[in-house]
Chain A
Amino acid sequence: GENVEQHPSTLSVQEGDSAVIKCTYSDSASNYFPWYKQELGKRPQLIIDIRSNVGEKKDQRIAVTLNKTAKHFSLHITETQPEDSAVYFCAATPGPNYGGSQGNLIFGKGTKLSVKP
């Protein structure tokens, strides 16, 4: 079945630096890859997503890249600010051979990003 690995589990950067979080997935049939941000004590919120027919997507300081051949996708945050401090989760949809529900998203275990002023 689908498995999503996320690295690193914690990441500390200086304000203004870039941050990169990487995820790998196992099911080559996966076709939707969202990223969620969860600030302390708050609910997860979608910040960006990418589908398998696209290699890169940008939204201001945030970008996601997808390498289908290598089965990995990454979140890039440029010019980090203290308000970027949060836990970030990647996720992937399972393919047709997944033993569980096709409607499910498989989440990575999360990366705690700390941006130091």
Chain B
Amino acid sequence: DVKVTQSSRYLVKRTGEKVFLECVQDMDHENMFWYRQDPGLGLRLIYFSYDVKMKEKGDIPEGYSVSREKKERFSLILESASTNQTSMYLCASSLTEHEKLFFGSGTQLSVL
């Protein structure tokens, strides 16, 4: 089965810190995604990538950037963390467009 691994389950950071969230998938999937999950708001797409070094903005990209240097790895970067970025972050991958998403177990980020 596909394995999507996020590097941290819980993170606590201070306002202004640079934060890296790492995600690795082991099934050679083309597409990788970063979602943010907040209670009552569902899953909102931050960025996604359909190929190495390619990226596209999702619905809420402000305050975030991403990096995909290798096919299996997709990183989410918070250049200067703010308290309103406290949230659950979910990475996902899919073989192609409009196919089943495989999610990681999530990173609960708290920015103090």
- Which A residues fall within an 8 A CB radius of B? 6, 9, 31-32, 34, 36, 42-46, 49, 89, 93, 100-105, 107-110
Whether A32 lies near B41 (C-beta < 8 A) is no
Residues of A within 8 A of B104 (CB): 43
Q: How large is the interface on B (under 10, 10 to 19, 20 to 34, 35 or more residues)?
A: 20 to 34
Whether B31 lies near A103 (C-beta < 8 A) is yes
Whether B31 lies near A101 (C-beta < 8 A) is no
- Which B residues fall within an 8 A CB radius of A? 31, 40-45, 48, 50, 56-59, 90, 97-98, 100-101, 103-106
Whether A102 lies near B106 (C-beta < 8 A) is no
- Option from B40, B42, B48 in Cβ contact (under 8 Å) with A104: B48
- Option from B44, B97, B101 in Cβ contact (under 8 Å) with A102: B97
Whether A107 lies near B42 (C-beta < 8 A) is yes
- Option from A93, A103, A105, A109 in Cβ contact (under 8 Å) with B40: A109
The 3 A-B residue pairs with the shortest CB-CB distance in the complex, in nearest-first order:
A43-B103, A109-B42, A101-B56
Once bound together, how far apart are the Cα atoms of A43 and B92, in whole Å?
10
- Option from A9, A45, A109 in Cβ contact (under 8 Å) with B103: A45
Known A89-B43, A109-B40: A46·B58 in contact at CB below 8 Å: no
Residues of A within 8 A of B100 (CB): 34, 46, 49
Whether B97 lies near A44 (C-beta < 8 A) is no
Once bound together, how far apart are the Cα atoms of A102 and B45, in whole Å?
12
In the complex formed, the residue of A with least CB distance to B97 is A103
A36, A102, A107: residue with the most chain B Cβ atoms closer than 10 Å:
A107
B95 CB to nearest A CB, Å? 12
Whether B106 lies near A43 (C-beta < 8 A) is yes
A109 CB to nearest B CB, Å? 4
